[in-house]
Each structure stands twice: as structure tokens, then as C-alpha cells.
Structure 1
Amino acid sequence: MVSIRQKLVSANQAAKVTNGKNNAKKYIVVHETDNTSAGADADAHARLQLNGNSRDASWHWQVDDHEAIQSFEHYWECWGAGTYQGNAQGIQVEICVNSDGDFKKAVENAASLIAKILKDENIAIQNVVQHHYFSGKNCPRNIRAGQITWTNFLQMITSMETPKPEKPPTESMKYRIVTGTYSTRNAALSVLDIMQKRFGWVAYIEQEGTKYRVKTGTFTGLTAAKSADNKIKTAKLAQVTYIIEA
């Protein structure tokens, strides 16, 4: 997955270079920056937009061989596609072509980013289009020239797997909580009463010589046991507690 970060243009600046916040987000429009200067990477283009682009142009994302940087939230209608429809319905993605970068890697990173946007915004792969689709401009120039074919680019996108959230490991071990000792049975009974009636736990008293402890029923998983242990201490039912395997 490509590294992603934001360098968002202020709302005041965005209002000057967009048509507002009503983007239908129906298409992803793919561009190339056409800026082959050394150093004209994603960060340079993001800084250009952040500091106030002198051109009447704007785009949501810029991607190079290292990262993807977001300049505008997707709801902004950026001036990138060359037509009202393309601007009002498109999320604009610029691929950097700086001479000191790896264009093939930048294209791969763009495919990874677009795969994520498709999922996030529920856009169909059929609606990933070239800048040329809306305005007839020869853009993205290098892809259109076949350095990496458009068909291969779309295949890259569909083959990308966006990371799935990791499920927390299932905790199956059982634990009990045992309090320190109380000098009288009545003191232990008072704690037992709170655990049973207020907390709704299974609990019982164990005698140890002339003193008494309170032991809980079982909790599934260490997280649950620690939470119960914290509840005992917060309620000041015991100064000392032990979590033990059941």
C-alpha cells in the first residue's frame, strides 16, 4: 500500500480554485503533471497548491514514487478535468513525472491509491478515466503513449488489495481475581455483597487461616480480567488483588 498523507489547502484558498463542495465523486480522473523537472515530486506539487497556485488549476491528489499526498478533500470540485462535468463529478489524481523519480513506481503507487479511493467512495472501476476522456487533452501523456498501457494500469488497480482492519486476537483463557486478605469475615462479606449485587459477578469467600479472601468467578480473556480488576480497585474494595489463571 502506498504511503499516504495530507497537506490540505485551507478552505479560503480552496474557494478560489474550485467550484465549491458539491463534488458528486462519480469518477476518478487520472492525470500526469507534465513537469519533468528534478524535484517536481508529490511534495513539491502539494506545496504549490498549499501556498496558492498561480494557475487556475487544482487537483485532489499528487502521487510520486514514494507517496501520495492529498491537497483537497474529495467533496471539493477541483479544476482539473477541463470541463464542468469532469470537475463536478471527478476526483483528480496527478501522477508525477519528475526526471529524478521512478515513473513506473509512481504509476504503481497511483494504482494503489486509486484502489483505496474506489473502495472508500464506492466508485466502479469503469469510472476510472483519463483526463482525455473529458477534455480531449493528451493526458496522461506517458500512459497514453504506451509506457505503461491504460489496460495494464486498470489491471494494476483491480489487482491491488486494500488492507483489511486486523481483528483483535480472540482471548480464550479464563482468569479469576483474588483479593488480599481481610481480618474478619464480615469485611470479606461486605466486599462479596458488592461484587454479587452491584457488579453482578459470581464470587465467594475463601478462608486462609484466621483471615479471609474474596475470589471471583471466571473472566474470559486477560482484557476482561484486567477491566474487572480495575473496577475492584476503583471501588476501593481491596488494596491488593491478583489475577490468576482459572
Structure 2
Amino acid sequence: MSIEIIQMFIPKSNTFTRPGIKMTPTSITDHETDNTNVRANARAHALLQKNGNRRQASWHFQVDDEPEVYQSIPVDEVAFHAGTRSGNYHSIAVERCVNKDGDYLKTIANTIELYKFLLKTYPSIKEIKQHNHWSGKNCPRLMRQGHKGMNWNKFIRKVRAEADVAKVKKVVGAGKSTYQTSNTSVSLNNKVVLKNSATRYATGERIPARYKGKTYTVMQRGSNRVLLKELYSWVHIRDIESTALRKLDKTVNTIKVGSKVTLRKSASRYATGEKIPSRYKNKSYTVQQVKADRVLLKELYSWVKRSDLLGLS
């Protein structure tokens, strides 16, 4: 697992929330946003800080279920987060997002990666504290109540005990604030089809049957979801496919002996059960025999499932 830290700093001129006071951090303070609104994610909270929070509140990092972690203040500067002078002047603040369209346990996993990285990178940091430690506030609320089986003691054990230190892919400069994502399977404005097998939106609500099997436009991307313009709803990446692939997919239903087909990258096993080596995937083959649910590929002389093929028109 790896994370990417994107620096979207509060402007130095905004001393209301970024006072510019230097500090040497000795702890990390763990917070939760307590904001369950859809897409109240790390980027949204980073933009809130960058554009000027009306409250005199600020924090260093914000984490959600995507690998991009946003940083708003350098780690050697004070932020207003703890409710006490001691907390503000000696601790790095991390806000964990709890938006309802996010994956809470994946957000926890990303937080663990960030903490391991901070502990290794900044030797002055010795402790991880709850916001509650400084001010008595019931924060991080979900963690304190053991939401989804993750309580504070278990969380800290994972941070301290796991051997592998997080790999930070890169740090993006403060001037570059365009959206970054590890999802490269679709691009903005791509046309995609919502699969008939889709059951629920990324926000958890059931998808009505009348919306399935239709074409939509990608409006925004996340690492594991996309916003469909016509529905104005977030759906999982696994529940969409590009219209180009859909056209190829349809030709599989009309394949015959002599047809050219491509073995999908996602194919895992032959129809006979053996594992398919990666070197054979995403290549073109000739159909030698056809059965109801499988096809014999001439060059491989192996049976593969129809669902693992793309037709070539």
C-alpha cells in the first residue's frame, strides 16, 4: 500500500488559520471531521482550508479512503485544532474524513500509513493522542466507540506494530492543486455504461433498474468511484464499463470459428480451472472451437470463458 501527499497549503497571508508560528512537533493529534455529507472528503476539506475557513480552525493533514492525502500546513508550523495552547503548539493535526460515501476502514488504513510515515520521518514525534486528550471533546467519535470493530487500542497497535513503513509516492508542490487520482481507467467526459449487475451507488442507496444498462458521462473521478453527470450520482468503478468496451463485448456473442478475439486483462483462470499467465492476457487469438460458455483459442490451444473475451470487429 502507498499514499501520496498532495500539498495544498493555506496561503501564508491567511494568518487567521495559518499563523506561521514555528514548532517542533512531539505528537500527532487524531481527529475526525464528523461531517458525513457525500464527498466531504480530504480534497473538500483541503479546499475549505485553502480558500479560507471562516472558523479559526485548521489542521495539517486530511485523510479519506483514497490514496491521496492532502496537507494544508507544514509540519513545523502551528495549527489551531486542539482546543488548548499546548496541543496547538506541539502537535500535528490529522483530520480523518467520515463522509457516508467513503470506506471507513480504508480511511483508517490510509491513516495508519500516514502515521507510520510521520513517525519515521520526524523523530521528535513520540506520541499519538486523541483530540479528546487536549480538550475533552468526544473526538475521534467513531474511533472512540469502536465503529466497525476498530477501537483506539487496536488502531495504535496497528500503527506501532506493522513493520512496513508507508511508501509516499510523491509530494506535489503547493502551487499545484489540480485533482490527483490513482484511477486511470476512465477520463473526464468519457462515455460509460452502468452495468446491469450494479446494485448500489457508492453512497449506499439502491440503484433503480431503469438506470442500468444506459450510457452516462463521467463528471468527476475518485480512486474507486466516478460521478455520472446525467444521474449526478457516484458509482463504483467496478459497476461501469466504457462504451468502447461494450461494443467489443457485444461482438463476443456472435463469434464463430475463425473469429479474432482478445483475452481480457482481468481473466484469471482458463475454463478448465488452471491459472492464466499474465503474458497471455490482452493479446489477440483465433477461435478454433465454440461452445455455449467457452471458446477454444487456437494459438493457446486452451479453453477460456466467453466472459473473459473481447470480440474484435
- Which category describes the TM-score, using the shorter chain as reference length? 0.5 to 0.7
What aligned pairs does 1:23-102 form with structure 2 within 5 A after superposition? 23-66=23-66, 67-102=68-103
Q: TM-score, normalised by structure 1?
A: 0.63
C-alpha contact (below 8 Å) 1:111/1:160 kept by paired residues: no
Residues 1:124 and 1:8: Cα distance change in structure 2 (over 3 Å): closer
C-alpha contact (below 8 Å) 2:10/2:18 kept by paired residues: no
Whole-Å separation in 2 of the counterparts to 1:164 and 1:52: 31
C-alpha contact (below 8 Å) 1:108/1:156 kept by paired residues: no
Residues 1:164 and 1:42: Cα distance change in structure 2 (over 3 Å): closer
Q: Give the C-alpha shift of residue 151 in structure 1.
A: 1.1
Q: Give the C-alpha shift of residue 22 in structure 1.
A: 2.0
CA offsets per residue over residues 39-89 of structure 1, 9 Å max, x none? Answer: 100000000000000111000000000021101101211000110000000
Q: Which residue of 2 aligns with 1:162?
A: 165
Q: Which runs of 4+ in 1 moved over 6 A?
A: none
What aligned pairs does 1:215-230 form with structure 2 within 5 A after superposition? none
C-alpha contact (below 8 Å) 1:18/1:78 kept by paired residues: yes
Q: Which residue of 1 aligns with 2:279?
A: none
Whole-Å separation in 2 of the counterparts to 1:26 and 1:36: 30
C-alpha contact (below 8 Å) 2:3/2:166 kept by paired residues: no
Q: Which residue of 2 aligns with 1:8?
A: 9
Q: Give the C-alpha shift of residue 19 in structure 1.
A: 4.3
Higher helix fraction: Structure 1 or Structure 2?
A: 1
- Where 1:117 maps in the other structure, the secondary structure is helix
Give the paired residue count: 163
Instruction: Note if 1:149 corresponds to 2:151.
Output: yes
What aligned pairs does 1:126-141 form with structure 2 within 5 A after superposition? 127-141=127-141
Whole-Å separation in 2 of the counterparts to 1:16 and 1:117: 26
Whole-Å separation in 2 of the counterparts to 1:142 and 1:63: 15
Percent identity over the alignment? 40
Q: Which residue of 2 aligns with 1:207?
A: none
What aligned pairs does 1:95-244 form with structure 2 within 5 A after superposition? 95-125=96-126, 127-147=127-147, 148-158=150-160, 159=162, 161-162=164-165
C-alpha contact (below 8 Å) 2:144/2:151 kept by paired residues: yes
Residues 1:160 and 1:149: Cα distance change in structure 2 (over 3 Å): farther
C-alpha contact (below 8 Å) 2:113/2:166 kept by paired residues: no
Q: Which residue of 2 aligns with 1:238?
A: none
One-letter amino acid of the structure 2 residue matched with residue 20 of structure 1: G
One-letter amino acid of the structure 1 residue matched with residue 154 of structure 2: N
Higher strand fraction: Structure 1 or Structure 2?
A: 2
* Long gaps (5+) in structure 2: 169-313
One-letter amino acid of the structure 2 residue matched with residue 85 of structure 1: S
CA offsets per residue over residues 7-49 of structure 1, 9 Å max, x none? Answer: 1111111x22144322220110000000000010000000000
One-letter amino acid of the structure 1 residue matched with residue 109 of structure 2: E
Residues 1:43 and 1:90: Cα distance change in structure 2 (over 3 Å): same
Greater relative contact order, per chain length (Cα 8 Å cut-off, separation 6+): 1
Whole-Å separation in 2 of the counterparts to 1:122 and 1:156: 19
* Long gaps (5+) in structure 1: 166-246
One-letter amino acid of the structure 1 residue matched with residue 112 of structure 2: A
C-alpha contact (below 8 Å) 1:46/1:69 kept by paired residues: yes
One-letter amino acid of the structure 1 residue matched with residue 96 of structure 2: I
One-letter amino acid of the structure 1 residue matched with residue 58 of structure 2: S
Whole-Å separation in 2 of the counterparts to 1:58 and 1:108: 23
CA offsets per residue over residues 112-161 of structure 1, 9 Å max, x none? Answer: 00110111111455x10100011110000000011111111112212152
Q: TM-score, normalised by structure 2?
A: 0.50
